[in-house]
Amino acid sequence: MIFDTHAHYDDEQFDTDREDLLREIFSANIDKIVNVGADMETSRASVALANAHPEIYAAVGVHPSDIACLNEEAYDELRRLAAEERVVAIGEIGLDYYWDKEPEVQSAQRDAFKRQLELAREVKLPIIIHSREAAKDTMDILTAEPHVDNPGIIHCYSYSVEQAREYVKMGYYIGVGGVITFKNAKTLRKVVEEVPLERIVLETDCPYLAPEPNRGKRNYSLYLKFVAEKIAEIKEISVEKVEKMTYQNALTVYGLQKGE
């Protein structure tokens, strides 16, 4: 059984066949999915999807590249959405200096990140971090946070082995998806080698980042088998062990029980 800890099934790329696809996924070996918001609209859509499907849970939050939508009204709505029964995390939130290079925009990203971290603390939910080309500022902001036992997931992890060790020490899980199957993912392979399996979760980030041999195609949860196989190969363990442990990790980080 596989737990897809990060998906975007609300994306318009799934508009033509969403329900058929979900039926296919859940009748195969995918047991649970967390659908993740990136702005207000997709946060609302994530909650709606979770309310319509017992296997889907939601995360609500505003992605660093979408913070223009954040005003006081939006923060109030996020707080209301976060209180919904099937919401299990705040995300995806963080910093993205790859798309936004202007210092004022980056500063606004940090403010929005901190505000949403505050919200996560207030509602006692773990966070899903999106961080790209912003390793130092992300780490600085997160280390300044008061310690919590289960802080969340560093999604689509793309930094060094040293930082991964640091995040694991802080209690985070490392999100691994399709990128691990790419030829140029040398550092990520080292990260997967180093980080204990007890700290890794599987994620598609679909419709993006499909693993080899489907790279470039529309991604979906059934392709996680290629990610699990790659992790098993790197760690020299069985695929079953990877699926079982990462499933358990996902339940733990999102505070869910097996049959829930």
Alpha-helical runs (H) found in the chain: 18-27, 40-52, 72-82, 103-123, 135-144, 161-169, 186-194, 224-235, 239-254
Count of Cβ atoms closer than 10 Å to residue 2 Cβ:
25
| Tally of residues, the chain | 260
Minimum separation from the CB atom of position 3 to Zn ion (A): 16
Candidate ranges 27-35, 52-60, 197-205, 224-232; the one touching Zn ion (CB under 5 A):
197-205
Tokens of residue 159, six digits: 């930094």
In terms of CB distance, is 39 or 205 closer to Zn ion? 205
Minimum separation from the CB atom of position 242 to Zn ion (A): 21
Candidate ranges 104-112, 137-145, 201-209, 223-231; the one touching Zn ion (CB under 5 A):
201-209
Minimum separation from the CB atom of position 92 to Zn ion (A): 5
Minimum separation from the CB atom of position 259 to Zn ion (A): 27
What gap in Å lies between CA 187 and CA 85, rounded to an integer?
A: 38
In terms of CB distance, is 204 or 246 closer to Zn ion? 204
Inter-residue contact 171 to 153 (CB < 8 Å)? no
Candidate ranges 20-28, 43-51, 107-115, 205-213; the one touching Zn ion (CB under 5 A):
205-213
Candidate ranges 142-150, 178-186, 198-206, 216-224; the one touching Zn ion (CB under 5 A):
198-206
Say whether residue 100 binds Zn ion (CB under 5 A): no
What gap in Å lies between CA 243 and CA 141, rounded to an integer?
A: 32
In terms of CB distance, is 31 or 66 closer to Zn ion? 66
Inter-residue contact 57 to 35 (CB < 8 Å)? yes
Closest CA to 96 of 67, 54, 61: 67
Inter-residue contact 207 to 21 (CB < 8 Å)? no
Inter-residue contact 34 to 5 (CB < 8 Å)? yes
Minimum separation from the CB atom of position 190 to Zn ion (A): 23
In terms of CB distance, is 190 or 215 closer to Zn ion? 215
Binding residues for Zn ion, rule CB under 5 A, total 1
Say whether residue 205 binds Zn ion (CB under 5 A): yes
In terms of CB distance, is 4 or 205 closer to Zn ion? 205
* Residues that bind Zn ion in the complex, under the rule CB under 5 A: 205
